[in-house]
Amino acid sequence: MAKEPDITNGHIDIANELAEALTRVNLSGYQYRIIWCVFRKTYGWHKSTDKISLTQFEKMTGLKSKYICRAIKELEALNIIIINRNNCINIYKFNSHYDNWKFKTTPKIGNSLKREKGLPKEGVKPIPNQGVTKENKETIQKKEIIDIFDYWNKKEIIIHKRLDQTTASSINARLKDNSIDEIKDSIHIYSVALKDDDYRWTYYWTLKDFMHKGYDKFKDKDIAYKNYFIGKDKLK
């Protein structure tokens, strides 16, 4: 039988007002699991921010990476979590200013705890599902491909003047099984390993070749560090 949890072994302090705000917004189960991961890594250590890798999210939630990345992207769009991507491992912060969450209705705290029938009157109404048409899906797909192409050029590895069809196809192939954030993270880790003298990697791929040959080598920071790092400090 599992030992009864003891707060002396660590606990998470969350203001009642903040807990009440969270009870008034419509979030998915996956989104709440990500929020609890952020709570555990920040408030659980009495910090406001912390670095959390995709591997850590996977271990804590038991979810596949594509579902984690999707939930993170949705929470960031709602301004519930704030992400600093200037480091190899993203830095996460829970936005405790619930008035700034991007819902149609701001969660109301206090006397609004009283219920009548169904959801509270001031609760957040779910956004109607308009469905995803083939045209919308293709538009989103093209935007994601261009976004990855632009991100690659910003890293100044090998700058491509135009996005040709073969490169676009190689990016699209990766997007079938990986999120846009996962692909960007892999590009970033590759860029660090390529340009930092503390790493024994010197081969320059084109974006197309990186999608085919390099993505898997650099999609996980811990594996890249183990395989290619020769300096004193980890990826920063």
Mean pLDDT of the chain: 83
The pLDDT value given to residue 120: 46
Per the structure, the count of domains in the chain is 2
Instruction: Taking residues 101-126, report their average pLDDT.
Output: 53
pLDDT at 118 over 50: no
Instruction: Taking residues 175-179, report their average pLDDT.
Output: 88
Domain co-membership, 32 together with 104 = yes
Instruction: Taking residues 77-84, report their average pLDDT.
Output: 94
Of 165, 170, 154, the C-alpha closest to 207 is 170
The pLDDT value given to residue 159: 93
Per-residue pLDDT tens digits for 195-210: 888 888 888 999 999 9
Give the phi and the psi of residue 83 in degrees, each rounded to 5. -120, 130
Domain co-membership, 140 together with 207 = yes
Domain co-membership, 102 together with 147 = no
Domain co-membership, 108 together with 151 = no
The pLDDT value given to residue 145: 94
Domain co-membership, 32 together with 107 = yes
Lowest mean pLDDT among 14-23, 32-41, 124-133, 195-204: 124-133
Radius of gyration of the chain (CA): 21
The pLDDT value given to residue 200: 81
End position of a domain, from candidates 113, 143, 166:
113
Domain co-membership, 18 together with 108 = yes
The length of the chain, given as a count of residues: 236
Domain co-membership, 151 together with 219 = yes
Q: Within a domain: residue 72?
A: yes
Domain co-membership, 153 together with 102 = no
Domain co-membership, 16 together with 105 = yes
Q: Within a domain: residue 174?
A: yes
Q: Within a domain: residue 64?
A: yes
Give the phi and the psi of residue 207 in degrees, each rounded to 5. -60, -40
Q: Within a domain: residue 68?
A: yes
Q: How confident is the model at residue 113 (pLDDT cuts 50, 70, 90)?
A: very low
Q: Within a domain: residue 128?
A: no
Per-residue pLDDT tens digits for 212-232: 999 998 988 788 878 888 775
Q: How confident is the model at residue 116 (pLDDT cuts 50, 70, 90)?
A: very low
Domain that holds residue 75: 11-113
Q: Within a domain: residue 235?
A: no
End position of a domain, from candidates 80, 113, 146:
113
Question: For residues 39 and 14, is the Cβ–Cβ distance under 8 A?
Answer: yes
Kindly report the pTM of this predicted structure. Answer: 0.49
The pLDDT value given to residue 33: 95
Strand partners, 84: 91
pLDDT at 72 over 60: yes
Domain co-membership, 25 together with 96 = yes
CATH value at residue 41: 1.10.10.10
The pLDDT value given to residue 160: 93
Angle, in degrees to the nearest 10, between helices 165-175 and 134-154: 110
Q: Within a domain: residue 120?
A: no
CA distance 103 to 28: 14
Instruction: Taking residues 42-54, report their average pLDDT.
Output: 92
Residue with tokens 């003047």: 161
Domain co-membership, 107 together with 139 = no
pLDDT at 233 over 90: no
Q: Within a domain: residue 121?
A: no
Q: How confident is the model at residue 51 (pLDDT cuts 50, 70, 90)?
A: very high
CA distance 101 to 94: 11
Domain co-membership, 106 together with 40 = yes
CA distance 193 to 212: 18
